Chain A
Amino acid sequence: MTIEEQLQSSISIVSSLTAERDDLRLAVEKLTVGSASELEALKLDASAKDAKVSELAAALEKAVAFSADLEIKISSLEAGKVSASKEAAKIAASVGVSPVQLSPSDSQPSAEAVDVLATFLSLPVGSKERSEFYAANKAAIVKAAL
């Protein structure tokens, strides 16, 4: 190989290496920029999640407070219900009526009440036993009768 040929070969190798170096630099620059933007996006995402967590924590706190309020209100209403029942019983008693418990949510008579009714009905009409049995078991008889 002549000296010219060697020079020519070296020049082409240098050019090739230069091009390869430029490609690599470009690739590195691209990677650097991509990572930065990705990191930025992750930071934004984390920040949004933090905000959401804070928001949910506040909402939960509010719900707990509301629940406590409701419990207080329920207790107050329950107490009021008892008073109203007592008041109704008093009014009924004042007109000569023996008040009978009325609970729509508990309308199914117990098996015991049904038995009591059957016993009452089996006693002879006009007998002292029937009259006394009714007086002693009025609540159960009334509950099972209809």
Chain B
Amino acid sequence: MANSITAAPAVLAEAVLESIKGKLPVLSSFSSIFSALESQAGIAVQVPLIGVSTATEFGASGYATQDDATVTAATVTLKHFKVVSKFTPLNVKSYGMPMLINSFVPTAANAIAEKCLAEIGALITTANYASTTNTGAALSYAELVTAKGVLDTAKAPGPYALVLNSTYLNGLLSDSSIIAAAGLGAGVITGGKFGTLAGMNVNQWNSLPTNGESLAGFACGPDAIACAASVPLSEIPGYDSAIATDPQTGLSIQVLMGQDTSGFYNVIATLLFGASVGRATSLTKFTTA
């Protein structure tokens, strides 16, 4: 066992980030700005929406004419989320980092991922996105194609994402038209994963909220939802802190670790996250009623 905990937050942050990435693949389907810069709750971030632009011929107005979609950015207000776990000094001394990796990391990653998803899920309402189809108890392949058509008509940019709760997704796993499809059926049956369906990247969201509107899923373009994330300024005297950042997305997690006055070691995973409605016509909902 090393003599200090200085290195521990850096390793824990990397481990939490690695775990959380696997729980939030859906974030790559939205417009986002993820930063490792220190910020604070309540800060508004302008998130550029991934739009459909049309190139025009250079003319007298030069570059002054705007060519991209009507809505080009959404304002996202960051909220500060955290997970705090307490460990006795004896446990930390006896079992060290492996104990923290095996007990704190999955708990923190799951809790933070759920909180981030809840922020997004709360946006999927009729007030924010008018397009809704009552697809009943089960979703069919034909209804997916119709949803894709809705997004096509709205000129939503690709790639499209299909986000479904487990009931709908498991129903599609036994859809005869999907299973029978050449080259797709085997993968669906053995791996239980669709990959893409009707040109949309399929994501399962077990905790998708119904929002009092019987929501069971949605299909969207990346400009429908804007997300932003950052890390808070760490200001706990005597605590060691570190940040881990995903090189691909920029998503960052901060971990702080220190001993409080009660003698316990506090291990904290934290981030700033927010989500906002982007282009309202780039999302269509599926409801069970």
Q: Which residues of A contact B (CB under 8 A)?
A: 92, 95-102, 104, 107-109, 114, 117, 120-121, 125-128, 130-131, 134-135, 138, 141-146
A130 to B98, CA, bound (A): 20
Interface size in chain B (residues, C-beta < 8 A): 34
Contact of B97 with A145 in the complex, beta carbons under 8 Å: yes
**Set B36, B92, B97: member contacting A125, Cβ < 8 A:** B36
Interface of chain B residues 83 through 102 with chain A (CB within 8 A): 92, 94-102
Give CA–CA (A88, B96) in the complex, Å. Answer: 18
A134 to B246, CA, bound (A): 12
Q: How many A-B residue pairs have CB under 8 A?
A: 88
List 11 other contacts, CB 8 Å, given A100-B102, A126-B244.
Answer: A92-B102, A96-B22, A97-B106, A102-B98, A104-B94, A125-B244, A127-B247, A142-B11, A142-B97, A145-B2, A145-B11
CB–CB A102/B36 < 8 A: no
A residues less than 8 Å from B95 (CB atoms): 102, 104
Report yes or no: A146 in contact with B106, Cβ–Cβ below 8 A. no
B142 close to chain A: CB less than 8 A: no
When the two chains form the complex, which single residue of B15, B22, B99, B245 contacts A126, counting CB atoms closer than 8 Å?
A: B245
Q: List, sorted by A's number, 6 A–B pairs whose CB atoms are closer than 8 Å.
A: A96-B106, A97-B105, A125-B242, A130-B247, A134-B11, A144-B2
Separation in Å of the B97 CB from the closest CB of chain A?
4
> B8: shortest Cβ distance to chain A, in Å?
5
Q: How near does chain B come to A125, taking the closest CB pair, in angstroms? A: 6
A126 touches B7 (CB 8 A): no
The answer to whether B1 touches A126, judged by C-beta atoms less than 8 angstroms apart, is no
Q: Is the beta-carbon distance between A146 and B100 smaller than 8 angstroms?
A: yes
**With A109-B2, A126-B252, A134-B14 in contact, do A146 and B247 touch (Cβ < 8 Å)?**
no
Whether B245 and A146, one on each chain, are in contact in the complex, defined by CB atoms closer than 8 angstroms, is: no
Closest 10 CB pairs of A and B: A126-B245, A146-B97, A102-B98, A145-B11, A128-B247, A100-B98, A146-B96, A145-B97, A145-B7, A97-B106
When the two chains form the complex, which single residue of B19, B246, B250, B252 contacts A96, counting CB atoms closer than 8 Å?
B19
